[in-house]
């Protein structure tokens, strides 16, 4: 990929992509006390999900009904587990079983599908998060190859808009005017989307953009936070010493986005598209919401990358599903710093 800035930085991400990356920033105490209210009804977990990139071979089939989440999980080695859990806010968690052996799971939605965490038990039978294995899975009907930029095809994708140089209503109008497919692709690049969402939310908070503008809910889609929270965190991040690190990562993602769109339009050679696809796959597995990214920059001195340490805050409770369908609370340790 000729001239691609930050190539070595992004390649390092590829080898770290399988690291455990639960969205536990809330537990780390890095976010403000303002709650991150969801902006849309949570999507049902029902469906079939297929692993991609480093998670190739994994499959999860789920049915969600009245808060219960059941189904089947097949890992990359072909081992099949039954899934028995329940929704807990935006995530689902519970127990896995196979031939009398038991383990635990947590899953969260991601733009392409879900992030699934297989958590084996320790000697005491409680969740051993330190030995957990993360899988990135896409909904079965998602064209992952095209999203990753590895399947060049004829398209009228047109110009890629990075929406620089516009603010307020001008920015919102430009974002609203993008084809839906371009907005969905941009959303996969978490720092690019955070950059856009943060600027739109800053304009809303400054009364420079009406909160009723149709671009606002589009910018907040999948963010699970309101504009006031995101704008506050962005302001703090911009004042942090390491904001240049965020900008450097943003620049890498912007160039990858341009290359991916070019691959999808059939304007790049196969080798370039394969390289972009591999780098995108690692990055997509570590996708984070704008509030988490800005909080990492503002509070932890990070760049917002998913490979940053999530802190050592209080454990999150994992609710164990017993044989009779009841639940009991089992503490899950906080992720270890990486």
Is the distance from CB of 220 to CB of 205 less than 8 angstroms?
no
Residues 92 and 151 in one domain: no
Do 69 and 86 have their domain in common?
yes
Q: Is residue 337 part of a domain?
A: no
Task: Give the per-residue pLDDT at 281.
Answer: 78
Residues 155, 251, single domain; the answer is yes
Specify if 233 maps to a domain: yes
Return the closest-CA partner of residue 96 out of 114, 130, 71. 71
- The answer to whether residues 99 and 87 belong to one domain is yes
Q: Residue 189: CB partners within 8 Å, gap ≥ 6?
A: 253, 254, 256, 257, 283
pLDDT attached to residue 173: 93
Between CA 194 and CA 214 the distance in angstroms is 18
Phi, psi torsion values for 7, nearest 5 degrees = -55, -50
pLDDT of residue 5: 40
Which domain-ending residue is among 86, 114, 142? 142
Which ranges in the chain belong to alpha helices (H)?
7-16, 144-148, 168-176, 180-188, 190-205, 215-220, 227-238, 243-264, 270-285, 290-300
Residue 71: inside a domain: yes
Specify whether 135 is located in the same domain as 149. Answer: no
pLDDT of residue 255: 86
Residue 93 belongs to what domain range?
47-142
Final residue of a domain: which of 119, 142, 165? 142
Domain end position, chosen among 142, 172, 195: 142
Q: Say yes or no: 14 and 101 in one domain.
A: no
Residues 242/129, Cβ–Cβ less than 8 Å: no
Local structure of 329: helix, strand or coil: strand
Of residues 110, 147, 138, the one with CA closest to residue 273: 147
In a domain? residue 87? yes
Task: Assess if residue 329 is contained within a domain.
Answer: no
Cβ distance 261 to 159 under 8 Å? no
- CA 7-132-117 angle, to 5 degrees, is 80
Residue whose entry in the numeric block shows the structure tokens 């290359």? 259
Closest CA to 139 of 65, 193, 61: 61
What CATH number should be reported for the domain holding residue 92?
Answer: 2.40.128.30
Residues 193 and 92 in one domain: no
Quick one: 162 and 257 in the same domain? yes
Q: Which residues of the chain are modeled with pLDDT < 50?
A: 1-39, 154-160, 307-338
* pLDDT on residue 149: 65
Does one domain contain both 137 and 183? no
The answer as to whether 57 is a domain residue is yes
Specify the pLDDT at position 183: 87
The answer as to whether 254 is a domain residue is: yes
Domain identity same for 193 and 283: yes
pLDDT of residue 40: 53
> 63: part of which helix (H) or strand (E)?
strand 59-65
Is 281:53 a contact under the CB 8 Å cutoff?
Answer: yes
Rounded Cα distance, 233 and 28, in Å? 15
228 shares a domain with 213:
yes
β-partners of residue 69 are 64, 85
Give the chain's domain count: 2
Whole-number Å distance between alpha carbons of 94 and 89: 13
- pTM equals 0.61
Spatial neighbors of 70 by CB under 8 A, at least 6 apart, are 62, 63, 82, 83, 84, 85
284 domain-assigned: yes
**Per-residue pLDDT at 325:** 35
Specify whether 103 is located in the same domain as 201.
no
């Amino acid at each position: 990929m000729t001239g691609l800035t930050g190539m070595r930085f992004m390649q390092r991400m590829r080898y770290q992509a399988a690291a455990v990356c639960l969205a536990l920033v809330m537990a780390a105490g890095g976010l403000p006390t303002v709650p991150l209210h969801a902006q849309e009804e949570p999507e049902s977990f029902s469906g079939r999900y297929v692993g991609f990139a480093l998670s190739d071979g994994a499959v999860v089939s789920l049915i969600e009904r009245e808060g219960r989440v059941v189904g089947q999980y097949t890992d990359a080695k072909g081992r099949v587990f039954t899934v028995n859990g329940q929704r807990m806010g935006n995530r689902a968690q519970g127990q896995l079983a196979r031939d009398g052996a038991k383990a635990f799971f947590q899953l969260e939605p991601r733009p392409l599908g879900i992030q699934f965490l297989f958590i084996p038990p320790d000697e005491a039978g409680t969740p051993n998060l330190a030995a957990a294995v993360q899988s990135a899975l896409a909904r079965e009907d998602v064209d992952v190859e095209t999203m990753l930029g590895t399947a060049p095809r004829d398209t009228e994708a047109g110009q890629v808009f990075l929406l620089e140089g516009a603010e307020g209503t001008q920015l919102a109008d430009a974002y609203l005017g993008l084809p839906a497919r371009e907005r969905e692709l941009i959303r996969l690049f978490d720092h690019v989307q955070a950059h856009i969402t943060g600027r739109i939310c800053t304009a809303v908070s400054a009364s420079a953009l009406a909160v009723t503008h149709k671009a606002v809910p589009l910018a907040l889609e999948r963010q699970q936070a309101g504009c006031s929270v995101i704008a506050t965190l962005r302001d703090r991040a911009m004042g942090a010493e390491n904001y240049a690190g965020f900008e450097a990562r943003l620049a890498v993602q912007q160039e990858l986005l341009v290359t991916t769109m070019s691959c999808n339009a059939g304007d790049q050679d196969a080798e370039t598209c394969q390289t972009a696809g591999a780098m995108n796959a690692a990055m997509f597995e570590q996708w984070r919401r704008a509030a988490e990214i800005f909080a990492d920059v503002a509070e932890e001195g990070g760049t917002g990358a998913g490979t940053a340490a999530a802190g050592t805050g209080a454990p999150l409770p994992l609710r164990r599903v017993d044989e009779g369908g009841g639940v009991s609370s089992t503490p899950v340790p906080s992720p270890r710093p990486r």
